[in-house]
Structure 1
């Protein structure tokens, strides 16, 4: 497990604080190797920081050192590949040597302390025990957490037809420019017009900022050590604005303030009232880069939120008037608050989605250090070379991390696009996760069966915050199933392991192959790929409808994605960001998802069990590639008309013509695996067999029959299984009839002529 250790200032309820944080951390860690953890310590004998801040800080650091030492005193170690339990400890659980701690509130500069303790204990992770530090990745310098959250912001705005990096947007925020997430975030676009922000000390308001001038001033504050909003140049603040202390008795309401914020007719307001108005401002973006919970659901009490310091400024989700929320900070909005806001049109995910780049970056750092420490131990690198290499890979690591944020936002966009039609499938997934003890819907604020039935009747699906939670649980369940199987041991998947690491490390392939977290890294990458590209319910529906295990579903998915060259197609659709409407881009992604479904279901239902991945790729890949070359040419006239009608519609909305036709051809591409099998069985050229198959499908009106099946509603799991089975039977019937016709026809005629 991994997670942050926080210096808590909550004497009475720091346990409650940790429990709230750990739940979010476990969900967030779905995209990385270890599960989530959280820790906190409360120093009881701190000096007064107002009198001697250095002594106060030193005492807190010593408390942290004692806490970390105590943790390692009860943690299993790994010595020469063997697990060594700690002395004097009775263990009731299995071996568990993986413990990684991260910086959190109050401990951002303590990574070197933790790593020093780790080295003193002889802990096997060495200075990989605490990410960051003098030999790790500096998250603030990388701006990685803010950059990850910005991927969510960009995707939301693309849906709204706005490019926040090319068009001015109005923003309110929580935080100040000295902070990592807020500071870096407010420098990610020169088109940000920050009209208001607040932290624990000040309230900043600039009713009509100049985007370029204010950007430069924010950058100056970001580079100024320990800056506050009070350092913002007063002459650069537009009329009616200012910087107001949080402890001021009253703030005068100017005409500009009244026009900007919902302040009513009052001549003066308290700072708390001003903050509540900022949170309810009619702006493009609410950016949270601070600490605390500022938005709840209207039916939640402040006591239920558990953040008494902000009770006086917190608002309800239904009161938000911003178009988009970016959650760079943790727990800024309660989950019920998110759902309430989302169901009223606010575009919002969760903190676990938006700010996952921090934990993802730390995970890469740990796994890279584990690898390089082995290389150093084997004499392949000197310690200084190892550290220099780490630094040189900083931006490549960042790009790999941001790729995860990007792909998860594509996944959520696709889920929202299909949401109404998938309510029952989402309900079945949640029910299965509950039966397996993985999920507790009430705890995660996910809807029960009655609420889902109501939404299905009203034509409503899950909200984005609900999808975000379900994504994490789907990935966690799949990772667990993979680790319990032999799939991560398939030799072909070693390339997944190598590809995880930055290119400069590929020179150490032997050490990569011996990485102690080899299986976990592979399982994590396969699970993320499957859910990101196949969708939230893909693996469960495949298991449900074919009877295969989750692990076999994952194996079939890898085969299908490689056979149909997922990487190239996805890249061509991603290149359309901002060039076509979001809905069109979603449809292009979903076209390939449907092809994956057809291929995976076929592989799982065929008579022969799946062999190793390389063997299956040898069987299918070349012939399928041949069939994908000019696929329209082998279709019947009716199929060609349908394909071109779909392609023309996509092209009319901005999709490139060739890509639109390629995507439309996927409706007929799912049959190619069966065609390849038949061609190999008969010893006939695969292109000729494909022509015969499509001619036969036209004669029996296969498209019309499949349309009848698809029109039947799947009100239950059994309906879904029955529809899937009939669909599969129809495809297999078409292949079998093609085989009979080819065998029985005139040997001197081509396969298509024999069908006639």
Structure 2
């Protein structure tokens, strides 16, 4: 039927798009692709010779020449990543989470879902279908090495990563945002479109890692995602009034750059604000732990951000380009430690008396003037010159020490 054909074509579209994004980011993610190949070989799941993938010597030569995997080679590791993820998901219980039943309904034509909902929900291959949809979606939207890199960074299993992926995707409304980018086909240059998709992919990866490290999934996905989606939506709605001047200027410049490339204003704005909204999960977590409203926590966190000029540090840190994957893991860890210290300081501000956030910030500064001035000067000194992993680590340490002593 036409509905089945449409689902097949959609799957082909998304897989082709995944290859294009992977090719666009190819050299930057080359070390991750090599790590994935090694991981698949160690598990006995991939034979390079059979799949016509280059040997280690050829790959080293490519790296030296500044070339990554070709599109056909990316297609091979993309396929293996999906097949492996499906098998690994089936070995976990994540497919039994009621929230993920929506993945089951995405697999079948809408008319079938509406006419036979009970038959769909009780399908004897329910777990297999959900695992198939999840593995396709995760690799299509996260890239071939998405799961392998997250496993290396956290030691999480496939089921935990899938749960964190669903939390990140749906808390930030990324399906809707990706769908809006799809409507730009033929209206803007393909290269510009790939840049936009890559921005979403970066947020997805970063926030999936955040949920792996910080979220509690014991009560299931539904309440967790509802809470974070509601909080992040509130932050998005009030973002212009919340963000400090540095973030506002950065957002405006990025949005203008996208618009100049033909991106509609509303979509340009949505993509440009992803950097500031990446703090949304931290804000919701602080709000819940401190027992305050999300917008109160947001005002406090952005106040701390501005006090120590952390926006500049985080932005500079996120733009560090590192060829070695372990250097990139160290960078990620330094940024995570920085964000943890920022959350702790935000909680201190929220606990500093009563009144509005401006009053609490003032009370907090008055209570620790010397320590705050000392750390502020030291952190600001780190912004002079090129940002490095070492500088980020020092900044995180200074802020963590302040949070402990305050």
Matched, 1:464 2:104: no
Q: 2:221 aligns with which of 580, 595, 613?
A: 613
Matched, 1:724 2:332: yes
Q: Find the counterpart in structure 1 of residue 14 from structure 2.
A: 407
- What is aligned with 1:582? 190
- Larger relative contact order (Cα-Cα within 8 Å, sequence gap ≥ 6): 2
When residues 747 and 600 of structure 1 are mapped into structure 2, their CA distance, relative to the original with a 3 A threshold, is: same
* Residue matched to 1:453: 60
Find the structure with the greater CA-based Rg. 1
Greater strand content? 1
Quote the Cα distance in structure 1 between the aligned partners of 2:4 and 2:215. Answer: 43
Superposition CA RMSD, Å: 1.8
Query: Which residue does the alignment assign to 1:150?
Result: none
How far 1:564 moved relative to its partner? 1.0
Q: Does 1:543 align with 2:151?
A: yes
| Shift of residue 730, structure 1, vs aligned partner | 1.1
Deviations 1:419-444 (A, max 9, x none): 11111111111111111111112221
1:729 deviates by 0.8
Q: Deviation at 1:489?
A: 0.9
Contact 1:563/1:620, CA 8 A, preserved across alignment:
yes
Question: In 1, Cα distance between the equivalents of 2:80 and 2:101?
Answer: 25
State the shift of 1:709 in Å: 6.6
Distance change (3 Å), C-alpha of 1:514 and 1:668: same
Consecutive unaligned residues of structure 1, counting only runs of 5 or more, are: 1-393
Determine if contact 2:246/2:311 at 8 Å carries over to the other structure.
no
Q: Is the 8 A contact 2:305 2:342 kept in 1?
A: yes
Q: Would you say the 8 A contact 2:299–2:357 is kept in 1?
A: no
Q: For residues 645 and 752 of structure 1, what CA distance do their matches in structure 2 show?
A: 31
Cα distance change of structure 1 residues 448 and 669 upon mapping to structure 2, 3 Å threshold: farther
Q: Deviations over 1:445-470 (max 9, x none)?
A: 12233322322222212111011111
Residue 351 of structure 2 aligns to a residue in which SS? helix
Distance in 1 of aligned mates of 2:205 and 2:239: 19
- Cα deviations by residue, 1:88-133 (Å, 9 ceiling, x for unpaired): xxxxxxxxxxxxxxxxxxxxxxxxxxxxxxxxxxxxxxxxxxxxxx
Contact 2:303/2:361 (<8 A) preserved: no
1:671 corresponds, among 255, 279, 287, to: 279
Q: Deviations over 1:554-601 (max 9, x none)?
A: 111011111111221111111111111111111111111111122111
Is the helix fraction higher in 1 or 2?
2
Return the alpha-carbon distance in structure 2 between the equivalents of residues 573 and 629 of structure 1: 20
Query: Compared with structure 1, are the counterparts of its residues 442 and 710 closer, same or farther at alpha carbon in structure 2 (3 Å cutoff)?
Result: farther
CA distance in 2 between counterparts of 1:513 and 1:550 reads: 23
Question: CA 1:558–1:398 in structure 2 vs 1: closer, same or farther (change >3 Å)?
Answer: same
Counterparts of 2:264 and 2:252, CA distance in 1: 13
**What does residue range 676-695 of structure 1 map to in structure 2 within 5 Å?**
676-695=284-303
2:313 corresponds in structure 1 to 705
Q: Per the alignment, in what secondary structure is the counterpart of residue 724 of structure 1? A: helix
Residues 679 and 689 in structure 1, CA contact (< 8 A), matched pair in contact too: yes
**In the TM superposition, what whole-angstrom CA distance separates every residue of 1:621-656 from its partner, at most 9, and x where no partner exists?**
211111122533321101111111111111100001
Q: Does 1:490 find its partner at 2:88?
A: no
Paired residues in the alignment total 361
Aligned match of 2:369: none
Alpha-carbon distance in 2 for matches of 1:613, 1:446: 39
Aligned to 1:475: 82
Matched, 1:565 2:182: no
TM-score under structure 2 length normalisation:
0.84
Counterpart Cα distance in 2 of 1:447 and 1:727 = 34
Residue 624 (1) aligns with residue 232 (2): yes
Tell me how far apart the structure 2 counterparts of residues 566 and 607 of structure 1 sit (CA, whole Å): 19
Distance 2:152 2:24 in 1: 23
Cα deviation, 1:495-553, whole Å, max 9, x if unaligned, reads 21122111222221222222221111100001111111111111111111122112211
Answering whether residue 70 of structure 2 is matched by residue 430 of structure 1, we say no
171, 183, 206: which one pairs with 1:598?
Answer: 206
Alpha-carbon distance between aligned partners in 1 of 2:120 and 2:216, rounded to the nearest angstrom: 33
Partner of 1:657: 265
- Does the Cα contact within 8 Å between 2:168 and 2:204 map onto a contact in 1? yes
Cα distance change of structure 1 residues 454 and 631 upon mapping to structure 2, 3 Å threshold: farther
- Give the SS at the match of 2:209: helix
Q: CA deviation at 1:610?
A: 5.2
Cα distance change, pair 541–740 in 1 and its aligned pair in 2 (3 A): same
1:530: which partner in 2? 138
After TM superposition, give the deviation of residue 712 of structure 1 in Å.
5.8
